[in-house]
């Protein structure tokens, strides 16, 4: 059967009306398809171009409803339904060609579900389709439904299904319009260049479709329907033209921005100059540049650490690479520029060489900042150590020496008149021995001589000899190594022991292990004390000193603890980093 696309009845139409309908039918298909093919040339819009081509074809099939044969007429009426849903999907998916937001996905799914549940099945149950529609003005003389599979149309279709679906259409169209208005209002200045033309036309088109559905339900004989159906028929071509305007506007914007950017920069350029040029040229004041300074670590141009650049909240990240494909910087910018090759290629190639020098400067600044912080911690630790030595001397040995001096003066006075009290002098000798032992203990805490002569195991054994709680030490077959390695192990273990003793509770025991494994000198200090929550308790200066000591030798240290589960301090120093074993006499 060959369909003839003539409005029924033909006799009632003038030749001019037929030509107008034919021209309209051609424009409906040609404009969206042509704009879609043009959009394929640009990477950011190729998905939307595909949707325009498909929409143009579906819209063209919808014009089959102009035919005077039942089958072509029925195909056109069903295609009209599909075309309306496709048009709304295209609008919601603009400009990326895919549904990004959750609200957009819900709206598109709701329309698609309504099409599948309330529209397409009725094509098998109704004798005639609702009139008028986008391309149809006939009423009683329209062709019958060629897809009807029942003998008689169920009354529930006209009394329930049709009113319900038309009401839902109006409500969903209202929600779509509200969503489009919100997108325009919240879009960035850059994104509005492509959004505004099409979404403005889309809002008008969807409002026209919603009003047409309402007028057909409430006033089916209104002359307003004739105007509305023509406006609705050209909704897709009008949107395609608006998209083309937005696309051309975007191309002009990118070209003008690149010219402004090239004209505003003068070598050599500082990072702030590059940022200012980017922001001014592309009208994006929130642009930012960060530099990779280490594995997974980033910094600003002045060396301040910063979080790794992450896309989100309408922002995108573009990595700038040098000729060897090394990342020299990351540009954080408006997401509208994400897939714009002209922007990425031109800005990336122009800025990479300039930014490489500043990336190195940022790296140096970052390292310099870390070095200053380490030096500050070391100086603070030395100050605390000196203060502690001063307090120990003042509170211990100094007081004993003062008392000893007073007693000696008294002994001298008594010896001038009486016989020398030998027993009293012996007691003074015992006091001298106590002072000597106290000074030895103090010296052992600062830098024990046994560490240099016998190594860290012997030095720690001496340190835990008078420990305030049960302490075991295991360290057999440990060879002698470079002094800095032995000192680091000794002082780290001593600091961990002091922390365990300081925060001990009744029944706490401590176990220390020193061993050589796989060319590493390892140590462990384990206690079954109270422990602490490392997420809420800040690490003190002693633990920071431990980390600095071990890190300076290329080693690592780990602290595992939890409330009521004790504390486990472990570390390892690679022996290859500081030389081989050292023999001692």
Q: Look at the chain and report how many structural domains it folds into.
A: 3
Residue 370, classified by CB atoms within 10 Å of its CB into exposed (0-12), middle (13-18) or buried (19+), is middle
User: How close are the terminal C-alpha atoms of the chain, in Å?
Assistant: 111
Q: What angle do CA 15, 16, 22 make, to 5 degrees?
A: 90
Q: Are residues 224 and 339 in the same domain?
A: no
- Helical residues (DSSP H) of 115-188, grouped into ranges: 155-156, 162-186
pLDDT score recorded for residue 7: 36
Are 53 and 33 within 8 A, CB to CB? yes
Are 334 and 315 within 8 A, CB to CB? yes
pLDDT score recorded for residue 87: 87
Q: Are residues 190 and 41 in the same domain?
A: yes
pLDDT score recorded for residue 217: 84
Consecutive 10-residue averages of pLDDT for the chain (585 residues): 36 54 72 83 74 86 84 90 89 84 92 92 89 72 89 89 91 94 84 83 90 86 82 82 82 80 68 72 75 74 72 72 74 72 62 57 68 65 62 59 66 61 62 64 60 86 82 86 86 86 79 89 89 68 77 86 86 72 45
Beta bridge partners of 556: 572
Other Cβ atoms within 10 Å of 26 Cβ, number: 12
Query: Per-residue pLDDT tens for 521-557?
Result: 999 999 988 777 766 666 666 777 788 888 878 888 9
In terms of residue numbers, what domain contains 552?
A: 452-577
Q: Assign residue 273 a region (left: φ > 0; alpha: ψ between -120 and 50; beta: otherwise).
A: alpha
Are 92 and 68 within 8 A, CB to CB? no
Does some domain include residue 70?
Answer: yes
Does some domain include residue 97?
Answer: yes
Strand intervals (E) in 197-325: 288-294, 297-299, 305-306, 315-321
Please identify which residue in the block is written with the tokens 């910063």: 306
- Helical residues (DSSP H) of 393-504, grouped into ranges: 398-417, 422-446, 449-454, 456-463, 483-502
Give the contacts of 570 (CB within 8 A, at least 6 positions apart): 522, 523, 524, 525, 557, 558, 560
Q: Are residues 221 and 273 in the same domain?
A: no
> In 3D, which of 462, 413, 454, 410 has the Cα closest to residue 431?
410
pLDDT score recorded for residue 121: 92
Q: Are residues 72 and 113 in the same domain?
A: yes
Structure tokens at 505: 């509770």
Are 265 and 277 within 8 A, CB to CB? yes
Are 82 and 58 within 8 A, CB to CB? yes
Are 280 and 260 within 8 A, CB to CB? yes
Note the pTM of the prediction, 2 decimals. Answer: 0.53
pLDDT score recorded for residue 562: 83
Q: Are residues 126 and 243 in the same domain?
A: yes
Beta bridge partners of 318: 331
Does some domain include residue 208?
Answer: yes
pLDDT score recorded for residue 584: 47
**Last residue in a domain, options 227, 252, 277:** 252
Q: Are residues 157 and 300 in the same domain?
A: no
Q: Are residues 22 and 130 in the same domain?
A: yes
**Last residue in a domain, options 231, 252, 273:** 252
Q: Are residues 267 and 245 in the same domain?
A: no
Q: Are residues 223 and 296 in the same domain?
A: no
pLDDT score recorded for residue 13: 46
Are 516 and 478 within 8 A, CB to CB? yes
Please identify which residue in the block is written with the tokens 């070598």: 267
Does some domain include residue 437?
Answer: no
Residue 211, classified by CB atoms within 10 Å of its CB into exposed (0-12), middle (13-18) or buried (19+), is middle
Q: Are residues 72 and 141 in the same domain?
A: yes
- How many angstroms separate the CA atoms of 268 and 403, rounded? 73
Does some domain include residue 348?
Answer: yes
Cα four-point dihedral sign 426, 432, 436, 441: positive
Q: Are residues 180 and 274 in the same domain?
A: no
Does some domain include residue 224?
Answer: yes
pLDDT score recorded for residue 101: 84
**Last residue in a domain, options 372, 395, 417:** 372
DSSP-derived letter for residue 119 is I
The DSSP line for 21-54 is HHHHHHHHHHHHHHHHHHHTTSGGGHHHHHHHHH
CATH of the domain at 219: 1.20.1070
Q: Are residues 51 and 166 in the same domain?
A: yes
Does some domain include residue 230?
Answer: yes
Give the contacts of 512 (CB within 8 A, at least 6 positions apart): 460, 464, 471, 472, 473, 474, 475, 493, 497, 523, 524, 525, 526
Does some domain include residue 347?
Answer: yes
């Amino acid at each position: 059967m060959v369909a003839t696309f003539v409005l029924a009845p033909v006799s009632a139409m003038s030749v001019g009306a037929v030509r107008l309908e034919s021209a309209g039918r051609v424009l409906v298909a040609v404009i969206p398809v042509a704009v879609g093919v043009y959009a394929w040339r640009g990477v950011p819009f190729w998905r939307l171009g595909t949707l325009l081509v498909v929409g143009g074809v579906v819209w063209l099939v919808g014009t089959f409803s102009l035919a005077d044969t039942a089958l072509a007429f029925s195909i056109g009426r069903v295609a009209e339904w599909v075309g309306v849903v496709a048009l709304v999907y295209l609008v919601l998916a603009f400009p990326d060609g895919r549904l990004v937001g959750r609200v957009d996905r819900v709206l598109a799914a709701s329309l698609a579900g309504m099409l599948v549940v309330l529209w397409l099945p009725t094509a098998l149950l109704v004798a005639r389709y609702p009139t008028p529609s986008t391309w149809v003005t006939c009423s009683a003389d329209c062709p019958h439904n060629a897809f009807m599979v029942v003998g008689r149309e169920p009354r529930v279709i006209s009394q329930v299904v049709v009113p319900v679906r038309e009401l839902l259409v109006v409500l969903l169209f209202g929600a779509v319009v509200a969503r489009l208005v919100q997108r325009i209002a919240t879009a960035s200045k850059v994104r509005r260049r492509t959004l505004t033309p099409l979404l403005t036309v889309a809002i008008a088109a969807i409002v026209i479709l919603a009003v047409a559905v309402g007028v057909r339900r409430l006033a089916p004989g209104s002359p307003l329907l004739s105007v509305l159906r023509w406006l609705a028929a050209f909704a897709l071509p009008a949107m395609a033209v608006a998209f083309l305007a937005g696309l051309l506007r975007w191309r002009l914007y990118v070209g003008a921005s690149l010219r402004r950017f090239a004209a505003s920069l003068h070598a050599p350029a500082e990072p702030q100059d590059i940022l200012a040029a980017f922001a001014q040229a592309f009208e994006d004041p929130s642009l930012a540049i960060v530099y990779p300074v280490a594995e997974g670590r980033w910094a600003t141009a002045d060396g301040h650490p910063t979080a790794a650049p992450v896309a989100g909240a309408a922002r995108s990240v573009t990595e700038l690479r040098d000729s060897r494909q090394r990342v020299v910087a990351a540009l954080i910018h408006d997401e509208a520029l994400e897939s714009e090759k002209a922007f990425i290629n031109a800005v990336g190639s122009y800025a990479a060489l300039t930014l490489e020098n500043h990336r190195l400067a940022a790296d140096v600044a970052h390292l310099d900042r870390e070095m200053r912080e380490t030096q500050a911690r070391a100086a603070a630790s030395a100050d605390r150590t000196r203060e502690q030595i001063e307090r120990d001397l003042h509170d211990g040995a100094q007081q004993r020496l003062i008392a000893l001096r007073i007693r000696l003066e008294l002994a001298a006075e008594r010896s001038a008149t009486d016989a020398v009290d030998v027993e009293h002098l012996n007691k003074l000798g015992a006091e001298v021995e106590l002072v000597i032992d106290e000074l030895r203990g103090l010296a052992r805490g600062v830098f024990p001589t046994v560490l240099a002569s016998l190594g860290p195991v012997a030095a720690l054994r001496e340190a835990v000899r008078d420990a305030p709680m049960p302490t075991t030490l295991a360290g057999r077959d440990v060879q002698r190594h470079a002094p800095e390695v032995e000192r680091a192990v000794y002082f780290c273990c001593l600091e961990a022991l002091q922390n365990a003793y300081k925060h001990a509770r009744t029944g706490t025991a401590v176990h220390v292990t020193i061993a050589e494994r796989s060319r590493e000198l390892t140590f462990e200090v384990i206690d079954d004390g109270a422990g602490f929550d490392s997420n809420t308790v800040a690490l003190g200066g002693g633990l920071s000193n431990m980390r600095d000591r071990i890190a300076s030798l290329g080693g690592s240290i780990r602290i595992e603890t939890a409330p009521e589960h004790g504390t486990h301090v472990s570390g390892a120093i690679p022996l290859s980093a500081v030389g081989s074993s050292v023999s001692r006499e």
